[in-house]
Amino acid sequence: MCHIASGDRWAGAEAQLAILVRQLALDPSIELNAIILNQGRLANELAEAGIPIRVIPESERSFLAIFSEASKFLKSTQTQIIHSHRYKENLAAAMLAQCCGIDYVVRTQHGLPEPFTGLRRFRQYALQRLDRVVAQVATDRVISVTAEMKSRLSHYISPSKIVVIHNGINIANIGAPLTKEQAKHSLGIAASVPVIGTVGRLERIKRLDIFVAAAQHIRKKVPDSMFIIAGEGEQKKILQDQLYRARLQDAILLLGYREDVIKVLSAMDVFVLCSDHEGLPIALLEALALRIPVVARKVGGIPEVIEDAISGILIESARPEELAAGCIKAIFDTMLRTSLTAGSRAAIQRFTVQSTAAQVVALYKSLVASEPSHDQHS
C-alpha cells in the first residue's frame, strides 16, 4: 500500500494521515510505503513510523520529473493499492496506477472544497471538476471521514464506492503534559482567568470572525476572560485587523502554528469551533480526550461526534451571541460542565485510531481479495 500526500503544510488531514500510518505500520499483514511531495513535518512523521518513504520536492522538479521519480519508486515496490489524500495527489495517484500497473486506487476525502474568490475561484472550480471525473472513472474506493460528507459526495460519486471511516486518535498518547494552571501560566495567563480557544487554519471557512465577535459578547459579561487562537493561514492579516477594530488585541492571543497543540489545548476551559463546515477535526477529538468542554456549530461531521448537552454544546446558528452564551454556560454551569466532562470521556471511545486503522485494513483486504478492476487501471 502506498500513500501519496503533499507535505507542504500541516493541518488536520496531514495529522490524521500521520496518526493512521503509525498505527497501520504495526500491522504485519500489510506493507506500507509513501510518496510525500515536499519535505516537512508530515515526511518526518512518516519516516519515524519506519516505513519506506520517497520525498519529492515540487519546487525543484517539473511535473514530468516528479511523475518519473514517483513511478520509479513505485516500480521498485510491490504496491497493489495507492491511497491519495488531496486533489493534486488524487490525479497523480490515478495516473501512477495506470503507468505502474497498480490495481486499485483509494482516496480519503478529508473535507469539502473551500470557497475562493477572484481567479483562484475559477482555478479551483476547474480542479474540482477534474477531481470529480477522476473519482468517478479512476478511483475504486472513496473514504469519507463522516456520514454527512458521504451524502454530499454521493451526488457525483456512486454511493457503492464510498465508505465511511471516521478519523481516530491514539487516546493512550493524549495526556495533558501540564496542569491547566501550568498551561495557562506558559501563555502568560493567570490560573483564575477563564480561557476560551480554538485550533485550526486561519482560513475563511473557519469563520474566526464569529469567534472574535463572540469574544466581544463574552468580555462584556466576563471582563477578565482571555482567548487563544492557534494556527496559521491566509486570513491572519484580516484577523489582526478585526481584533484591532474590536479592541481585543490584548484579549485574544494569536499563537501562530504550534507543534505542541496538546499543551495549548490544556490551557483552555472551553474549546470552540465556528466553521461553516468541518469534516471530522483532529483538534476536536483531542479536546474531548483532554476532557475540555466543547462548544461548536452544528455543521458537517461535528454532530456525529458531539451530542448536544451530553458531550458538548451544539450551536444551531452562526450568531456570535449564541456561541458566546454557550461558552459562558460551559464555564459557569458547574453541573453541566461536570456532565460534559463525563460525556466527552464516553464520546471519544468511538474515535480511536485502532478502530480507524482496522477499518482501513479491512477495506484494503476486501479490494485485493477481489478481481483487479482492469477496466479502470489497465
DSSP string, 137-201: HS-SEEEESSHHHHHHHTTTS-GGGEEE----B-GGG---SS-HHHHHHHTT--TTS-EEEEES-
- In this prediction, residues 347-363 reach a mean pLDDT of 97
DSSP-based three-state secondary structure for 343: helix
Burial class (CB in 10 A: 0-12, 13-18, 19+), 31: middle
Q: Is 197 exposed, middle or buried (0-12, 13-18, 19+ CB in 10 A)?
A: buried
* Mean pLDDT score of the chain: 93
pLDDT at position 355 is 97
Residue 106 reports pLDDT greater than 60? yes
**Could you tell me where the beta strands, DSSP code E, fall in the chain?**
2-6, 33-37, 53-56, 81-84, 104-109, 141-144, 162-164, 195-199, 226-230, 252-256, 270-273, 294-297, 313-315
pLDDT band at 374 (very low <50, low <70, confident <90, very high): very low
- Rounded Cα distance between 279 and 253, Å, is 26
Across the range 265-270, mean pLDDT stands at 98
Ramachandran bin of 265, using left for φ above 0, alpha for ψ from -120 to 50, beta for the remaining angles: alpha
Q: Can you give the pLDDT at residue 140? A: 97
Rounded CA separation 25/13 (Å): 18
Range 100-108 average pLDDT: 96
pLDDT at 113 over 80: no
Measured distance CA(154)–CA(150) in Å, rounded: 6
pLDDT tens track for 335-351:
999 999 999 999 999 99
Mean pLDDT score, 227-238: 95
Task: For residue 375, name the pLDDT band (cuts at 50, 70, 90).
Answer: very low
Report, as an integer, the average pLDDT of 61-87: 93
Domains and CATH numbers, the chain: 2-168+353-377 (3.40.50.2000), 171-348 (3.40.50.2000)
What global pTM score does this model have? 0.92
Give the pLDDT band (50/70/90) at residue 373.
Answer: low
Average pLDDT over residues 8-20: 92
Q: How confident is the model at residue 295 (pLDDT cuts 50, 70, 90)?
A: very high
pLDDT bucket at 60, cuts 50 / 70 / 90: confident
Q: How far apart are CA 302 and CA 346, in angstroms?
A: 16
Average pLDDT (153-169) is 96
Question: Is the CA virtual torsion 64, 70, 73, 78 positive or negative?
Answer: negative
**pLDDT on residue 125:** 78
The pLDDT of 87-111, averaged and rounded, is: 95
Cross-strand pairs, 314: 296
Q: Do residues 25 and 32 touch, judged by C-beta distance below 8 A? A: yes
Alpha carbon distance 268, 180 (integer Å):
8
Cell of 335: 453541573
* 81 HSE (CA, 13 A, CB side): 24
Closest alpha carbon to 202 in 172, 245, 248, 236: 236
Look up cell 468541518; give the residue.
278
Tell me: pLDDT of 378 over 90: no
Q: Estimate to the nearest angstrom the gap between the alpha carbon of 171 and the chain centroid.
A: 16
Q: Give the per-residue pLDDT at 121.
A: 72
- Tell me: pLDDT of 175 over 50: yes
